[in-house]
Amino acid sequence: MTPVELEPSPSRTDVFGRSWEGRRVAIVGLGRSGMAAMDLLCRMGCRVRITEAKETPELRTMRDTCAARGVEDVEIGGHSQRLIEQSELLVVSPGVPETAGPIRWALARRLPILSEIELAFRFCPSTIIAVTGTNGKSTTVTLIAELLKASGHAAIACGNLGIPFSSILQQLTSRTIAVVEVSSFQLLWCDQFRPHVGVLLNVGANHLDRHPDAEAYLSAKARLFQRQTPTDWAILNGSDPRIVGIGEQCHAQRVWFGEDRSNPPWLRLAGQTRQSFTESAQAVLQVGRLLGIPDPLSWQVIRTCRGLEHRMEPVATTPRGVRFVNDSKSTTPDSLRFALSETPGDVVVIIGGRDKGLDFGDLLEPLHRERVKGIVLIGESRSRLHSVLNGHASRSVVRECETLGEAVRVADHLARPGTTVLLSPACASFDMFRDFEDRGRAFKAIVNTLTGGTRNDG
């Protein structure tokens, strides 16, 4: 296949003034971020190679697309050391573990390793607001971008929420604000990344299958602030002692939510605000204040923005007043705890899925609260979950179901008027569905059939 002629780039130098023309770069992983990195690097005149562990018909099609863009070598179905040895730099997708061959080979050769976020930063002309945390990142990024747009700023949400940072660079100018969701995996391979405003929402027990321990996970999150200076801002959860500890090491100016701590008068949060708003919403409010956005506009955006699909997404309300919420993105116990904290009033929760050996112990306290009127279990993990709950004398009615459709019907039966039925599985979806999106859409279809399509816009 003859490579297409690339459009000339206005500049092939990064923000540090270094030319990327002719640089030999290997991309590890051919997912969304890998394809976005490929496109950027080709525009910069790099000699690009790609290696992908899996092989599927879709990946074979993507390989042809890469060849047409001028990529020199694309291997799928496994990694070869040869491809790494021919490169001077690696760009790593977030799904690639640190134990993968290409990373080990690159470290042995002392080659630089960059995440796609770090790569995009080096060509970004815009002010950056970056958000990380265990839970609520995507919703917070979306709210910040919507708030900026409502106040007249040009803003684009991107990053770990499914829109690679590299893919939106051509839309950015010096007047645009990039609102970037950043995961711990992406931060591991960030070196120069420096957001003007960095936000750390919370830190729970997550991704310990990739990070050696909780301290390593916390350290990865702290990398968000490593390159900031006193002209930048770090917005931090003051109610978490571990995050307070991170804040004490920051060079940026600190702004707190959750607790006021050392906030100056213009950034203090009234007690009623802390009671009425979730901690994520408080963080959005503080971002708005730093950018001179009046509180009333921030309050309006926070209260009216519907957020993202599969993340605490209102679905429908039955004629008798039972509200259904889709939080299929919840794949860990921490994310279920977060969802319960965001759900007011009585709740019946649907949980379960692929059992990855996660520790469900932290769920016992929130699931034993009086307001939890029912627990409906699905998927591979349902038997183990049932044993854990019964072993601690759960106050709630606990039911096991074979299918999601059965679970929705049982949950509706257990719910009283005014109750929320919350799908927040705390487990991966792959035992019953393609992915969490497939699970969430199946839930919404079942609910809308049950309710006759009565939407809930509240």
Domain ranges in the chain are 24-111, 120-304, 313-451
Give the Cα separation of 444 and 313 in Å (integer). Answer: 10
For tokens 């707190």, the residue is 256
Fold of 120-304: UDP-N-acetylmuramoyl-L-alanine:D-glutamate ligase (3.40.1190)
Over the chain (458 residues), the average pLDDT of each successive run of 10 is 40 93 96 95 96 92 92 95 95 90 96 97 97 90 96 96 94 97 94 97 67 77 96 97 94 97 96 88 97 96 81 90 94 88 91 85 88 95 89 75 96 96 94 93 95 56
The helix/strand/coil state of 31 is coil
Architecture of the domain delimited by 313-451: Alpha-Beta Complex (3.90)
Q: Which residues, listed in sequence order, are joined to residue 348 by a DSSP beta bridge?
A: 374, 421
Secondary structure (3-state) at 420: strand
Number of H helices, E strands in the chain: 17, 17
Output the pLDDT for position 264: 96
φ, ψ of residue 75 in degrees (nearest 5): -115, 135
Distance CA 347, CA 370 (A): 10
Where does 6-80 have alpha helices with state H?
32-43, 57-68
The residues pairing with 235 across neighbouring beta strands, listed in sequence order, are 199, 255
Distance CA 300, CA 302 (A): 6
CA nearest to 267, candidates 365, 197, 337, 172 = 197
Q: If DSSP codes are grouped into helix, strand and coil, which group holds residue 251?
A: coil
User: How many angstroms separate the Cα of 222 from the Cα of each of 243, 252, 289?
Assistant: 9, 12, 23
**Cβ 350 vs Cβ 323: under 8 Å:** no
CA separation for the pair 52, 101 (Å, rounded) = 11
Secondary structure (H, E, C), 131-161: EECCCCHHHHHHHHHHHHHHCCCEEEEEECC
Q: Dihedral of CA 442/443/448/450: which sign?
A: positive
Q: Which two tokens stand for residue 284?
A: 């959005």
d(CA 432, CA 450): 21
Q: Which residue has the tokens 């999106």?
A: 437
CA angle 160, 163, 169 (to 5 degrees): 110
Q: What is the CA angle 307-313-319, rounded to 5?
A: 130
Which among 245, 260, 256, 196 is positioned nearest to 224, based on CA atoms?
196
**Cβ neighbourhood burial of 241 (10 Å; 0-12, 13-18, 19+):** exposed
Q: Spelled out in words, what is the top-level CATH class assigned to the domain 24-111?
A: alpha beta
Task: Pick the closest to residue 200 from 228, 173, 167, 177 (CA basis).
Answer: 228
Could you identify the residue written with the tokens 């591979």? 380
Alpha-carbon distance 99 to 271, whole Å? 46
Distance, in Å, from the CA atom of 456 to the CA atom of 315, rounded to the nearest integer, reads: 6
Token representation of residue 305? 């923005």
Using CA atoms, how far apart are residues 388 and 385, in angstroms rounded to an integer?
5
Residue with tokens 């999150």: 221
Tell me the C-alpha distance between 221 and 132, whole Å. 7
Per the confidence metrics, is the pTM higher than 0.85?
no
Instruction: Read off the tokens for 161.
Output: 């929420």
Q: Counting Cβ atoms within 10 Å, is residue 329 exposed (0-12), middle (13-18) or buried (19+)?
A: buried
Which residue, chain included where needed, has tokens 């692929």? 354
Q: Phi-psi bin for 309: left (phi > 0), alpha (psi -120 to 50), beta?
A: beta
